[in-house]
Amino acid sequence: MTACAQRRAVWLSAAIVAALAGTAAPALAVTPEERLEICKEASTRYKELYGKEMSEEPVQVIAMYKYTFCPTKLQVKKGSKVRFINLDKRTTHSYWFRDAGRPESERYFGGEGSEMTMDLPEGSHTYLCGPHYEREGMIGSIEVVP
Ligand SMILES: [Cu+2]
Protein backbone atom coordinates (compact mmCIF):
# COMPACT_ATOMS: atom_id res chain seq x y z
CA MET A 1 0.00 0.00 0.00
CA THR A 2 1.39 3.44 -0.87
CA ALA A 3 1.54 6.06 1.85
CA CYS A 4 -1.25 7.96 0.11
CA ALA A 5 -3.58 4.95 -0.05
CA GLN A 6 -2.80 4.20 3.57
CA ARG A 7 -3.75 7.72 4.63
CA ARG A 8 -6.97 7.46 2.69
CA ALA A 9 -7.83 4.12 4.35
CA VAL A 10 -7.30 5.67 7.79
CA TRP A 11 -9.45 8.64 6.88
CA LEU A 12 -12.22 6.38 5.58
CA SER A 13 -12.36 4.27 8.71
CA ALA A 14 -12.43 7.40 10.88
CA ALA A 15 -15.34 8.73 8.78
CA ILE A 16 -17.21 5.46 9.20
CA VAL A 17 -16.71 5.49 12.98
CA ALA A 18 -17.96 9.09 13.15
CA ALA A 19 -20.96 8.28 10.99
CA LEU A 20 -21.86 5.28 13.10
CA ALA A 21 -21.53 7.24 16.32
CA GLY A 22 -23.73 9.98 14.89
CA THR A 23 -26.54 7.68 13.87
CA ALA A 24 -26.34 5.24 16.77
CA ALA A 25 -26.56 7.72 19.64
CA PRO A 26 -30.16 8.98 19.29
CA ALA A 27 -31.55 5.50 18.62
CA LEU A 28 -30.05 4.01 21.77
CA ALA A 29 -31.69 5.96 24.55
CA VAL A 30 -33.80 8.98 25.28
CA THR A 31 -31.94 11.76 27.12
CA PRO A 32 -33.23 13.06 30.49
CA GLU A 33 -34.14 16.39 28.82
CA GLU A 34 -36.18 14.56 26.20
CA ARG A 35 -37.89 12.58 28.94
CA LEU A 36 -39.01 15.80 30.64
CA GLU A 37 -40.55 16.97 27.36
CA ILE A 38 -42.18 13.58 26.83
CA CYS A 39 -43.68 13.70 30.34
CA LYS A 40 -45.11 17.18 29.71
CA GLU A 41 -46.73 15.76 26.60
CA ALA A 42 -48.01 12.79 28.60
CA SER A 43 -49.72 15.13 31.10
CA THR A 44 -51.45 16.97 28.28
CA ARG A 45 -52.48 13.74 26.66
CA TYR A 46 -53.80 12.35 29.94
CA LYS A 47 -55.97 15.42 30.41
CA GLU A 48 -57.32 15.17 26.87
CA LEU A 49 -58.18 11.51 27.32
CA TYR A 50 -59.53 11.52 30.86
CA GLY A 51 -60.62 15.10 31.47
CA LYS A 52 -58.42 15.69 34.50
CA GLU A 53 -54.83 15.97 35.60
CA MET A 54 -52.95 12.82 36.58
CA SER A 55 -52.43 14.48 39.97
CA GLU A 56 -56.22 14.81 40.48
CA GLU A 57 -56.71 11.05 40.51
CA PRO A 58 -57.35 9.37 43.88
CA VAL A 59 -54.26 7.21 43.32
CA GLN A 60 -50.80 8.10 42.08
CA VAL A 61 -50.60 7.62 38.34
CA ILE A 62 -47.58 6.62 36.30
CA ALA A 63 -48.01 7.07 32.56
CA MET A 64 -46.18 4.84 30.13
CA TYR A 65 -45.55 6.98 27.08
CA LYS A 66 -42.95 7.13 24.32
CA TYR A 67 -40.59 4.70 26.07
CA THR A 68 -40.78 6.71 29.27
CA PHE A 69 -42.35 6.26 32.68
CA CYS A 70 -43.89 9.57 33.81
CA PRO A 71 -42.94 10.63 36.39
CA THR A 72 -39.67 8.76 36.03
CA LYS A 73 -39.07 9.01 39.79
CA LEU A 74 -41.82 8.87 42.35
CA GLN A 75 -42.18 8.60 46.11
CA VAL A 76 -44.96 6.29 47.25
CA LYS A 77 -46.29 5.45 50.70
CA LYS A 78 -45.95 1.81 51.56
CA GLY A 79 -49.30 0.09 51.09
CA SER A 80 -50.80 2.75 48.82
CA LYS A 81 -51.87 2.14 45.25
CA VAL A 82 -50.12 3.17 42.08
CA ARG A 83 -51.87 3.10 38.72
CA PHE A 84 -49.82 2.38 35.63
CA ILE A 85 -51.44 3.34 32.35
CA ASN A 86 -50.25 3.22 28.76
CA LEU A 87 -50.92 6.51 26.93
CA ASP A 88 -49.40 5.43 23.63
CA LYS A 89 -51.55 4.48 20.68
CA ARG A 90 -49.59 1.69 19.09
CA THR A 91 -46.89 0.59 21.50
CA THR A 92 -47.38 -1.92 24.30
CA HIS A 93 -45.66 -1.42 27.65
CA SER A 94 -45.34 -3.27 30.92
CA TYR A 95 -43.91 -2.65 34.36
CA TRP A 96 -41.59 -5.08 35.99
CA PHE A 97 -40.01 -4.89 39.45
CA ARG A 98 -37.49 -7.47 38.40
CA ASP A 99 -34.83 -6.66 41.00
CA ALA A 100 -37.46 -7.08 43.73
CA GLY A 101 -38.17 -10.56 42.39
CA ARG A 102 -41.61 -9.75 40.98
CA PRO A 103 -43.01 -11.08 37.71
CA GLU A 104 -43.54 -8.74 34.78
CA SER A 105 -47.02 -7.25 34.46
CA GLU A 106 -49.11 -7.87 31.38
CA ARG A 107 -48.06 -5.95 28.30
CA TYR A 108 -50.66 -3.22 28.03
CA PHE A 109 -52.05 -1.67 24.89
CA GLY A 110 -52.97 2.02 24.65
CA GLY A 111 -55.49 3.02 27.30
CA GLU A 112 -54.82 -0.12 29.32
CA GLY A 113 -53.02 -0.55 32.59
CA SER A 114 -53.40 -1.79 36.12
CA GLU A 115 -52.97 -0.84 39.74
CA MET A 116 -50.33 -2.14 42.06
CA THR A 117 -50.40 -1.97 45.83
CA MET A 118 -46.97 -0.83 46.91
CA ASP A 119 -46.05 -3.74 49.15
CA LEU A 120 -42.34 -3.61 48.35
CA PRO A 121 -39.88 -2.99 51.19
CA GLU A 122 -39.11 0.61 52.11
CA GLY A 123 -36.38 2.14 49.98
CA SER A 124 -35.66 2.73 46.32
CA HIS A 125 -36.82 0.31 43.65
CA THR A 126 -35.96 0.37 40.00
CA TYR A 127 -38.49 -1.07 37.61
CA LEU A 128 -38.43 -1.83 33.91
CA CYS A 129 -40.64 -1.96 30.88
CA GLY A 130 -40.18 -5.53 29.65
CA PRO A 131 -40.02 -4.79 25.93
CA HIS A 132 -38.14 -1.47 26.18
CA TYR A 133 -35.70 -1.36 29.06
CA GLU A 134 -32.73 -2.64 27.11
CA ARG A 135 -32.73 -0.63 23.90
CA GLU A 136 -34.80 2.41 24.86
CA GLY A 137 -33.79 2.61 28.51
CA MET A 138 -37.42 2.61 29.67
CA ILE A 139 -36.70 2.40 33.39
CA GLY A 140 -38.42 4.06 36.34
CA SER A 141 -37.75 4.37 40.01
CA ILE A 142 -40.06 4.32 43.02
CA GLU A 143 -39.05 5.15 46.54
CA VAL A 144 -41.25 3.42 49.06
CA VAL A 145 -41.59 5.48 52.24
CA PRO A 146 -43.40 4.71 55.53
CU1 LIG B 1 -42.31 0.15 27.09
User: Is 80 found in the same domain as 8?
Assistant: no
Same domain, 16 and 62: no
pLDDT in tens, 84-110: 999 999 999 999 999 999 999 999 999
Distance from Cα 92 to the centre of ligand 1, integer Å: 6
One domain, residues 5 and 62: no
| Three-class secondary structure of residue 74 per DSSP | strand
Distance 113 CA to ligand 1 centre (A): 12
- Residue 145 Cα to ligand 1 midpoint, Å, equals 26
Dist. CA 6 → ligand 1 center (Å): 46
State whether 5 and 75 are in the same domain.
Answer: no
Q: What pLDDT is stored for residue 47 in this prediction? A: 97
59 & 122 share domain? yes
Ligand 1 midpoint to CA 85 (Å): 11
Residues 123 and 108 grouped into a single domain: yes
Q: How far is the CA of 32 from the centre of ligand 1 (A)?
A: 16
Rounded-to-integer distance, Cα 89 and Cα 65, Å = 9
* 40 CA from centroid of ligand 1 (Å): 17
In whole angstroms, give the CA distance from residue 138 to residue 87.
14
Please, how many CA atoms are within 13 Å of residue 48, restricted to the half-sphere of its CB? 9
Rounded Cα–Cα distance for residues 111 and 116 (Å) = 16
Same domain assignment for residues 24 and 36: no
Q: Are 95 and 127 in contact (CB under 8 A)?
A: yes
Give the residue-averaged pLDDT of 6-12: 46
Whether residue 10 is predicted with pLDDT greater than 50 in this model: the reply is no
Task: Indicate whether 96 and 112 sit together in one domain.
Answer: yes
Distance, CA 12 to ligand 1 centroid (Å)? 38
At residue 14, φ and ψ (nearest 5 deg) are: -65, -40
> How many whole angstroms separate alpha carbon 111 and alpha carbon 125?
25
pTM recorded for the entire structure: 0.80
Q: Are residues 93 and 38 in the same domain?
A: yes
Name the domain count of the chain. 2
Domain of residue 71, residue span = 31-145
CB contact burial 111-133 (16+ within 10 A = b; e otherwise): eebeebebebeeeebebbbbbbb
- Residues 23 and 89 placed together within one structural domain of the fold: no
